[in-house]
Amino acid sequence: MSCGKDMTDELIIKLQKLWKRIDKEPKWYDQRDGYTKANKEWVVKLIKDVRENKLTTLCREDMQACNRLWRDYERK
């Protein structure tokens, strides 16, 4: 396994953890449900891009969006 492959796997694992965190969002909050679904779809698309293109890092905009999602779905 090459170093690049390790970084790609690590990135995918982090994105999967983000998806799981979003998925744990309570379903009862109807107004937020549309945003939750869109956020999960965006993360899945990002995971597919990382896998297909063997990315080892994200662009600045994607990193900022991921950081925002981590904060939005933080468990308090």
What the block records as the tokens of 12 is: 């995918």
Q: What is the pTM of this model?
A: 0.81
36: left (phi over 0), alpha (psi -120 to 50) or beta: alpha
**Could you read off the pLDDT tens digit of each residue along the chain, which spans 76 residues?**
455 677 888 999 999 999 999 888 766 555 567 788 899 999 999 999 999 998 889 999 999 999 999 998 887 6
Report d(CA 36, CA 3) in Å as an integer. Answer: 34
What's the pLDDT score for residue 1?
A: 41
pLDDT for residue 76: 62
pLDDT value at residue 74: 84
Q: Which residue has the tokens 């995971």?
A: 47
Number of domains the chain is built from: 1
